[in-house]
Amino acid sequence: MISKEFLSKIPIFEKLSPGDHDTLVTLWQKRLLTQGQVLFRKGETGNSMFVIEKGVIEITVPTELQKKETRISVLHEGEFLGELSLVDGLPRTATATAMEECELLEMKREDFMTFLMQRPAVAIAMVSEIGKRLRATNEQVMSLASKNLNVEIEETLSFGDRVADKVAEFGGSWKFIFTFLTFMAIWMSLNMAQLWFKPFDDYPFILLNLMLSTVAALQGPVIMMSQNRAGKKDRLQAELDYNVNLKSELMLQQLHTKFDEMRATELQTIQEVLERNLGILQRRIQEAEKDQSRLELLDENLHKKGRSR
């Protein structure tokens, strides 16, 4: 059976009183899952929450582009899932699958709602906590969407990384090419024109070849260091874009679900109004028919009285 200490660690239950925790402990039922068994699927109506006593649960969402399930988290012993279904009862936003044999504790929404109806103060406290979680989620999404990866990477660069980037930037520019050609022209001119002093690097310019080989040997690794860092930056950017797109897709799916529910509610309301108006119209028609029948009967009686006279 679940303990009061563990209940106090669940965000929506942590501010409840010890007496409320004593009551909540009695609402849980054990549930067993085999490896690969699906606990619930995305889109199913949520009517309970679960606590993992033993085993591992994988949380996935379907992606239309990849045509497969994408893992978003893995839950282990002592963690919980589906807690918001106790409050809203909306369809599940993800799929939960057992990665091994699992032992869970389940609390039904009906039992929890009965518990809340008897304790309005608890319901108010839980609504406040859920509001805080929604605000935190919105802030997280906004921070992901507005994060400047270039600025964050620049703040973590070491002195060697900055030097490597500068060398790679200079080595891949026209400025480097013109400077290099000018230097070689001056070097060869000084060592070929034996006018005022003895050449310090006679033809075939062995010292120049040694310098060029050394520069090429050092320039290669430095440029590769810069390219590796650029590749890492691209991978981080791709991961950031994926996380933002995934969160946006989940939020859009939730919005679509809410719109569908609103449309279904509106259609049901319209149907109820039409049925009510139709009932009123039918009653009025029946009353009109009765009135017509009474008028016809009255008219007939009048004709009979007229003939009798």
DSSP lists the bridge partners of residue 49 as 107
* Mean of pLDDT values over 34-47: 87
Q: What is the reported pLDDT for 197?
A: 64
Structure token pair of residue 298: 């009255």
Q: pLDDT: is 109 or 258 the higher one?
A: 109
Tell if the pTM clears 0.75, that is, is over it: no
- State whether residue 65 is helix, strand or coil: coil
**Worst-scoring range by mean pLDDT, 55-69, 99-113, 131-145?**
131-145
pLDDT band at 133 (very low <50, low <70, confident <90, very high): low
Q: Is the pLDDT of residue 129 over 70?
A: no
Which residues, other chains included, contact 169 with Cβ-Cβ below 8 Å and sequence gap of 6+? 226
pLDDT band at 138 (very low <50, low <70, confident <90, very high): low
Among residues 120, 116, 119, which one has the least CA distance to residue 108? 116
The 3-class secondary structure across 84-138, one letter per residue, is CHHHHCCECCCEEEECCCEEEEEEEHHHHHHHHHCCHHHHHHHHHHHHHHHHHHH
- State whether residue 29 is helix, strand or coil: strand
Among residues 62, 74, 17, which one has the least CA distance to residue 250? 62
CA of 28: how far to CAs of 53, 108, 123, 127, in Å? 12, 8, 19, 21
pLDDT band at 65 (very low <50, low <70, confident <90, very high): very low
**CA distance linking residue 274 with residue 271, whole number of Å:** 5
Q: Is the pLDDT of residue 259 over 50?
A: yes
Max mean pLDDT among 209-213, 214-218, 278-282 falls in 278-282
Q: What is the reported pLDDT for 292?
A: 81
Contact 200, 207 (CB under 8 A): yes
- State whether residue 205 is helix, strand or coil: coil
What are the structural domains of the chain?
4-146 (2.60.120.10), 149-257 (no CATH)
Residue with tokens 């007496």: 19
* Mean of pLDDT values over 171-199: 77
Q: Is the pLDDT of residue 141 over 60?
A: no
